[in-house]
Structure 1
Amino acid sequence: MEPLIHGMLLAFGLILPLGVQNVFIFNQGATHKKFTNALPAIITAGVCDTVLIYLAVTGVSIIVFSFEWLTLLLYLIGFFFLTYMGWVIWKDKSEVSTNQEENLFSARRQITFAVSVSLLNPHAILDTIGVIGTSSLTYTGYDKWVFTLACIVVSWIWFISLGVLGIKVGQINGNRNFLIRINQISAIIIWIMAIYMGYKLYSLLF
Structure 2
Amino acid sequence: MWEAALHGFILAWGLILPLGVQNVFVFNQGAAQPKLARALPAVVTAAICDTLLILLAVLGVSLIVLSLAWLKTILYAVGTLFLAYMGWSIWRSEPPAPGNASAGVGVRKQIMFALSVSLLNPHAILDTIGVIGTSSLSYEGYAKAGFAAAAIAVSWIWFAGLAVAGRGMGRLDSSGRLLLLMNKLSAVVVWVMAVYMVKMLVFP
Q: TM-score range by the shorter chain?
A: over 0.9
Tell me the residue number matched to 1:44. Answer: 45
Mapping of residues 1-206 of structure 1, within 5 Å:
1-93=2-94, 96-204=96-204
Once the two structures are TM-superposed, the CA of residue 103 in structure 1 deviates from its matched residue by 4.3
Give runs of ≥4 in structure 1 deviating > 4 Å: none
Distance 1:177 1:16 in 2: 25
Distance 1:117 1:28 in 2: 13
Once the two structures are TM-superposed, the CA of residue 88 in structure 1 deviates from its matched residue by 1.4
Answer yes or no: is the 8 Å Cα contact 2:65–2:72 preserved in 1.
Answer: no
CA-to-aligned-CA distance 1:70-110 (integer Å, 9 cap, x gap): 111111111111111111122122x6322324342112111
- TM-score, normalised relative to structure 1: 0.92
Q: Which moved more, 1:25-34 or 1:154-163?
A: 25-34
CA-to-aligned-CA distance 1:181-202 (integer Å, 9 cap, x gap): 2222221211111111122112
Amino acid at match of 1:52: L
CA RMSD after TM alignment = 1.5
Aligned residues: 203
Gaps spanning 5+ residues in structure 1: where? none
**SS of equivalent residue, structure 1 residue 105:** coil
Q: Which moved more, 1:97-106 or 1:54-63?
A: 97-106
Answer yes or no: is the 8 Å Cα contact 1:75–1:120 preserved in 2.
Answer: no
**SS of equivalent residue, structure 2 residue 93:** helix
Percent identity between matched residues is 54
Once the two structures are TM-superposed, the CA of residue 149 in structure 1 deviates from its matched residue by 0.3
**SS of equivalent residue, structure 1 residue 179:** helix
Gaps spanning 5+ residues in structure 2: where? none
Amino acid at match of 2:91: W
Distance 2:162 2:136 in 1: 26
